[in-house]
């Protein structure tokens, strides 16, 4: 009679085999490939940080064929990139609605190497929390940390649970200490934006900030318990903030009605949904509390 460990082993192997049919090897950097997932017909999603060139990109499919690919767009903020390929007969990832993930649930990382085929590693989901902003400036809809040995070349593949349901795309590009999984909601949002516009819009203010503590007498004057704000160190005249009247020396206390005490707080109003939207800015200048309106601009794209 088959014991429970053998049964579990067989179930995990089946989950890897099923996921592996949708995972490809992406050749876009010297010496070592990365992984990608066939997200929808003709569309491959991979980890942006693994693409070291924009041309002469090739993809090895699950059936062993290697085909050319073109970059549809990149989003460094979420570490996602979208490639287009001609592979109409290849299976795409099955986006079933998984059950609720819990810390401690088993997680499998599945990638592909041109030399060895499917590569897999087993671990657990080691941390979960809500939405967060990456150090690259993008918004991730849910923080999912993986305690999984992410082999060289596995970034950009898939992370699945023991039932083979998609957790997200694993990457080593968003944390210096552990592998993370980019959740399905984020991938869907970024892929839709890239396929429509070729990029993901990011909000832009055009100012440089630094946190500054608010003196006790100032907090009393403002009738606030807020301990710090953001002092403006630079302001581009033609930027959204500059056009709104923000000047060097202003202390920003709130944006869109939310207190700002650190530069990370500003990221909350720099998402794509804020581009073109006017927001209220509360600030302290020369002993007076002012209210200005800033229309969030779109961050200029990096030139190639």
Query: Which pLDDT tens digit goes with each residue over 120-132?
Result: 999 999 999 999 8
pLDDT value of residue 302? 60
Q: What is the CB neighbour count within 10 angstroms for residue 115?
A: 10
Query: Which pLDDT tens digit goes with each residue over 253-282?
Result: 999 999 998 888 898 888 888 899 999 999
Domain ranges of the chain: 4-197, 203-298
Distance CA 137, CA 135 (A): 5
Yes or no: is domain 203-298 CATH 3.40.605.10?
A: no
Cα dihedral 9, 7, 183, 73 sign = positive
pTM of the model: 0.83
Distance CA 184, CA 239 (A): 34
Q: In which band, very low, low, confident or very high, does the pLDDT at 167 lie, cut at 50, 70 and 90?
A: very high
4-197 adopts what CATH topology? Thrombin, subunit H (2.40.10)
* Cβ–Cβ < 8 Å for 35, 154: yes
Q: In which band, very low, low, confident or very high, does the pLDDT at 224 lie, cut at 50, 70 and 90?
A: confident
Nearest CA to 204 out of 265, 269, 140, 291 is that of 269
- In terms of C-beta density within 10 A (0-12 exposed, 13-18 middle, 19 or more buried), how is residue 162 classed? middle
* Cβ–Cβ < 8 Å for 206, 233: no
**What are the DSSP calls for the chain, one per residue?**
---HHHHHHHHHHHHHHHHHTTEEEEE-SSS--EEEEEEETTEEEEEGGG---SSSEEEE-TTS-EEEEEEEEEETTTTEEEEEE--TTS------------TT-EEEEEEEETTTEEEEEEEEEEEEES-EE-TTS-EESSEEEEES---TT-TTSEEE-TT--EEEEEESSS-SSSEEEEEHHHHHHHHHHHHHHSS---EE--EEEEEEEPPHHHHHHHT----EEEEEEEE-TTSHHHHHT--TT-EEEEETTEE--SHHHHGGG-SGGGTT-EEEEEEEETTEEEEEEEE-EEPPPPP-
Q: In which band, very low, low, confident or very high, does the pLDDT at 96 lie, cut at 50, 70 and 90?
A: low
Distance CA 232, CA 162 (A): 50
The segment with the largest mean pLDDT, out of 43-57, 220-234, 260-274, is 43-57
């Amino acid at each position: 009679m088959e014991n429970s460990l053998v049964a579990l082993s067989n179930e995990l192997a089946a989950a890897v085999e099923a996921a592996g049919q949708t995972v490809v090897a992406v050749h876009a950097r010297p010496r070592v490939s990365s992984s990608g997932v066939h997200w929808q017909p003709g569309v491959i999603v991979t980890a942006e940080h693994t693409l070291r060139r924009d041309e002469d990109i090739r993809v090895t499919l699950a059936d062993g064929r290697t085909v050319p690919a073109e970059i549809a767009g990149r989003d460094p903020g979420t570490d996602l990139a979208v490639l287009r390929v001609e592979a109409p007969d290849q299976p795409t990832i099955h986006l079933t609605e998984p059950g609720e993930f819990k810390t401690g649930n088993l997680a499998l990382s599945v990638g592909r190497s041109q030399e060895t085929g499917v590569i897999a590693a087993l671990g657990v989901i080691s941390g979960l929390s809500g939405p967060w902003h990456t150090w690259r400036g993008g918004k991730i809809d849910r923080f999912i940390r993986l305690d999984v040995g992410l082999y060289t070349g596995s970034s950009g593949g898939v992370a699945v649970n023991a039932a083979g349901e998609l957790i997200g795309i694993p990457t080593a590009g968003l944390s210096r200490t552990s592998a993370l999984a980019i959740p399905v909601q984020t991938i869907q949002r970024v892929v839709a934006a890239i396929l429509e516009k070729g990029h993901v819009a990011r909000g832009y203010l055009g100012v440089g900030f630094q946190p500054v503590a608010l003196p006790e007498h100032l907090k009393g004057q403002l009738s606030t318990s807020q301990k710090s704000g953001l002092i403006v160190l630079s302001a581009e005249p033609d930027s959204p903030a500059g056009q709104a009247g923000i000047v060097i020396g202003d202390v920003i206390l709130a944006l869109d009605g939310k207190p700002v005490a650190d530069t990370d707080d500003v990221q909350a109003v720099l998402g794509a949904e804020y581009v073109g939207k006017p927001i209220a800015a509360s600030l302290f200048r020369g002993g007076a509390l002012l209210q200005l309106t800033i229309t969030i601009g779109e961050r200029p794209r990096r030139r190639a």
